[in-house]
Amino acid sequence: MTRIGTDLQYAKELLQKNELVAIPTETVYGLAANGLNADAVLKIYEAKNRPSFNPLILHTDSIANAKKLVSYFSPLATRLAESFMPGPLTLVLPKAAIVPDIVTAGLDTVGIRIPRHPLTLQLLSMLDFPLAAPSANPSGYVSATTPAHVAAQLGNQLTYILDGGICEIGIESTIVKVEDDSLTILRQGGIAMETIAQVAGKNIRLHQPASGAKPESPGMLLTHYAPKTPMVVGSIAENAKKYVGKKTGVLWFQTPNVKVEAEREMVLSPSGNLHEAARNLFSYLRLMDAAELEIILAEPAPDTGLGVAINDRLCRAGI
């Protein structure tokens, strides 16, 4: 059985023995292991049932330590790191030789992130290696934003979950690839693209692979964040007409002004606040999934700021 607690010393000892520990971050919980040890990293892929072509992010506690994992940290990367780290940003940069190939799934780049969570920052400062950590959920399922979420599905696979409470942001980091002087967003996330563009002082390319093409962020190939119950994203009032007679759950973005027949009804943010909606998203999807419904109908958020990342997650979860 897995234990849940705040014993940093115990977490450190497990990680030093190349065991897995779940860690809190401001975005979602991570399933962490020694990122410089290939045997430890292999355990992450096994526990999550993650395809071997999908690389992991390395977590560290300072820009100085991040630089040791990268062969070239350009001035543009430094500017972004100084503005947004610690925080929900992952930079994809050319990897240093000390990073094992299993971390990057054979790519010559590595994702680097400094999480903005006091407990995890303290743990990282006690370790002399970075932590490889994907989101702490079985591959393809909804990410975890509480220790209970992690325990529910990965409880048999790990000894310890470091309890940092409910994740403040609730949606994964924004992933930006930095090449020379150009920036490409590989995944929308906790920092809006406009905010990054402003600091970078330039336009950012959004990587949208044509269907069937190989994406630059290999994980984006997969159905992601998906509850087991089929989910349809769009106008709830319209879609409800198509599923009359089914056991339906509806997930509103904000308090609706129309009435729809449903078994289960939830509102991501009654006042329509994007931050609140992001924080509730994965919890509410899990609750809907546990309610034994036949169909979930969800309404998209406004397509600005964090709403872009919320809609990305909803669409990937949808059918």
Q: Does 172 bind ligand TXA (CB under 6 A)?
A: yes
Q: Does 133 bind ligand TXA (CB under 6 A)?
A: yes
Q: Does 110 bind ligand TXA (CB under 6 A)?
A: yes
Q: Does 113 bind ligand TXA (CB under 6 A)?
A: yes
What lies within 8 Å, CB to CB, of 236 at 6+ separation is 250, 252, 256, 258, 260, 297, 298, 299
Among 162, 175, 268, 277, binds ligand TXA (CB under 6 A): 175
Q: Does 107 bind ligand TXA (CB under 6 A)?
A: yes
Residue 113 site contact among ligand TXA, Mg ion, none (CB < 5 to 8 Å, cut-off depends on kind): ligand TXA
Residue 85 site contact among Mg ion, ligand TXA, none (CB < 5 to 8 Å, cut-off depends on kind): none
Residue 25 site contact among ligand TXA, Mg ion, none (CB < 5 to 8 Å, cut-off depends on kind): ligand TXA
Q: Does 217 bind Mg ion (CB under 5 A)?
A: no
Q: Does 191 bind ligand TXA (CB under 6 A)?
A: no
Q: Would you say 116 or 224 has its CB closer to Mg ion?
A: 224
Q: Does 104 bind ligand TXA (CB under 6 A)?
A: yes
Q: Nearest to ligand TXA by Cβ — which residue?
A: 219
Candidate segments 1-9, 67-75, 109-117, 310-318, binder of ligand TXA by CB under 6 A: 109-117
SS (H, E, C) the chain: CCEEECCHHHHHHHHHCCCCEEECCCCCCEEEEECCCHHHHHHHHHHHCCCCCCCCEEECCCHHHHHCCECCCCHHHHHHHHHHCCCCEEEEEEECCCCCHHHHCCCCEEEEECCCCHHHHHHHHHCCCCEECCECCCCCCCCCCCHHHHHHHHHHHCCEEECCCCCCCCCCCEEEEEECCEEEEEECCCCCHHHHHHHHCCCCEECCCCCCCCCCCHHHHCCCCCCCCCEEECCHHHHHHHCCCCCEEEEECCCCCCCCCCCEEEECCCCCCHHHHHHHHHHHHHHHHHCCCCEEEECCCCCCCHHHHHHHHHHHHCC
Mode of pairing for the β-strands spanning 174-179 and 182-187: antiparallel
Amino acid identity for residue 93 in this structure: L
Candidate segments 50-58, 122-130, 226-234, 310-318, binder of ligand TXA by CB under 6 A: 50-58
Among 34, 65, 90, 188, binds ligand TXA (CB under 6 A): 90
Q: Would you say 249 or 318 has its CB closer to Mg ion?
A: 318
- Within 116-145, which residues bind Mg ion (CB under 5 A)? 135
Q: Does 188 bind Mg ion (CB under 5 A)?
A: no
Q: Does 25 bind Mg ion (CB under 5 A)?
A: no
- Within 254-283, which residues bind ligand TXA (CB under 6 A)? none
Q: What angle (nearest 5°) sits at the alpha carbon of residue 168, between those of residues 184 and 119?
A: 100
Q: Does 174 bind Mg ion (CB under 5 A)?
A: no
Query: Which residues contribute to the site for ligand TXA (CB under 6 A)?
Result: 25, 27-28, 30, 54-57, 90, 92, 104, 107, 109-111, 113, 115, 133-135, 172-173, 175, 186, 216-220
